[in-house]
Structure 1
Amino acid sequence: MRKIVLLVGILCLTTVGYAQSIDRVAACNKFNTFNNLVLEGGVKRADAQKQFRDVIKQIKASKETVEPKAKWIFPLKGYNYHAIGGNGDGYADKGYRYLDGNKHGAHPAHDIFINDKNQDCLDDRTNKPVDVLAIDDGTVVACSNEWEPSSNLRGGKFIWIYHPERNYFTYYAHNQSIVVKPGDEVQQGQKIAEVGRTGYNAYKKRSPTHLHFSTFRLVDDLPVPFNPYQQLKEAKTL
């Protein structure tokens, strides 16, 4: 009898976990669609706030609360903070508004450059693509693996990840290819993409090959950028 009760308990927990996983994926897919609308412009503030509240609620409901890792993993495999453009001076968040979408001003990000003089998206030292890594555990809430040179989308192929233990988002742009999708749970240091040259300005010859990396906290249920330079300096290289 005890074994039957135990088995029923395990089945119930499995069913609940599966249902929560389905809810998380559905919420992330809904958010992904919403984020695409933001890029096109015209989304109302109240609608955006609701979308952020909903997706965070579903993600937190499907995960156990754990202590965040002490330090990040640097977002480019084989690189460290010395690859950040301008020793961090390229970060400028004044005037940024998430709801401005693709037309937003400012540059609330650090561009992290790879060794790629001939701009073929391969590291000149290894002749291989450079992996983009998740800086910490999280859930992919939005991404795009489609981009054409005729597009005016500045981020190109991008990824948004929500990190529930820290309650903030990370954004990775200009990727050559993406290996995750909305709803995926990722582990710290996991490969999520390969560095590329996608995006309206990143595609042009004048732009060296780089990862555009941003971090955001929620203020009044909307993302507000913060400068992650110190965390990047202290991050571990894989």
Structure 2
Amino acid sequence: MKTKLIILITFLSISAQAIAQDATTICKQIDQLNTDVLNNIISKKAAATQFAPLILKLKAAPTVAVKHTSWVFPLQGYGASAIGGYKGNGYSAKGYSYFDGNKHSAHPAHDIFIKDKNQDGIDDNTHQPVNVLAVDDGIVIACSNVWSPESTLRGGKYIWVYHPQQNIISYYAHNNAIFVKPGDVVKQGQKIAEVGRTGLNAYKKRSPTHLHFSAFGLNNKFPEPFNPYQQLISSKRS
């Protein structure tokens, strides 16, 4: 009996490792596809053909995720009052298409500003970097920790997190540094990055230091932006 139990435990352990590896492989494929889309080196039709099956595979792969009743605010030490615009009116999704990559139009996002008058990326009150937090449990499907001022990419150092329980994606851009990679399972409130000024426009002096936060639904298997303002204003501060 003891031998059978050991064999069963070993089998379950190996199976869990295989599932995790499968999910990581899928995430790496999505990451590469996202890079190709971002750099406009793949046609929209080809990208759409590849994207949907990958998301379906990832959704079917068991991951450790809990659907919470509310989000955690994506900036530690901050809340809804840091969201730019009057009642979040900086959000505008008209004309946006994920498959336009870096050439996309509109601003399907909320800019969340930190206190940083001298634009050094450090909070004026705490004198520390501001942590970027995962709004809910999920798995990292794409990210980049590389950006230089010569780059024309607008998102700078970014992270895409897929939340299987909600079937949505959250997006965090302009980070100074990121601490996750494709395939990493993240928990709600986990530090995934630090706020920065990376990205074509975010790097310029005219831009106050902020996190660019977006959310996308996947009801049609493709990323379609939705306004997450209500989720943000009702989220828990950390």
Shorter-chain TM range is: over 0.9
Cα RMSD after superposing both structures? 1.3
Does residue 33 in structure 1 map to residue 32 in structure 2? yes
* Post-superposition offset of 1:220: 2.7
Distance apart, 1:5 and its partner CA: 1.3
- CA deviations over 1:102-158 (Å, ceiling 9, x no partner): 000000000000000000000000110000000000000000000000000000000
1:18 paired to 2:17: yes
CA contact (8 A) 1:177 1:196 kept: yes
Contact 2:142 2:161 in 1 (8 A): yes
Unpaired segments ≥5 residues, structure 1 = none
Contact 2:27/2:140 (<8 A) preserved: yes
Residue 31 to residue 154, structure 1, CA distance change in 2 (3 Å): same
The aligned runs of 1:65-214 (5 Å cut-off) are: 67-86=66-85, 87-214=87-214
Secondary structure of the structure 1 residue equivalent to 2:218: strand
Structure 2 residue runs of 5 or longer lacking an equivalent are: none
> Would you say the 8 A contact 1:49–1:220 is kept in 2?
no
| Alpha-carbon distance between aligned partners in 2 of 1:45 and 1:219, rounded to the nearest angstrom | 18
What TM-score comes out, normalization by structure 1 length? 0.95
Contact 1:24 1:55 in 2 (8 A): no
Name the SS of the counterpart of 1:222 in structure 2: coil
Deviations 1:193-219 (A, max 9, x none): 000000000000000000000000114
Q: CA deviation at 1:57?
A: 1.6
Structure-1 separation of matches of 2:14 and 2:185: 18
Residue 50 of structure 1: how far off its partner (Å): 3.0
Q: Does the CA-based 8 Å contact 1:49-1:221 persist in structure 2? A: no
Equivalent position amino acid for 2:201 in 1: N
Displacement over 3 Å in runs of 4+: none
Shift of 1:56: 4.1
Q: Are the counterparts in 2 of residues 110 and 212 from structure 1 also a CA contact under 8 Å?
A: yes
* Change over 3 Å in CA distance of 1:49–1:230 after alignment to 2: farther
Q: Percent identity?
A: 56
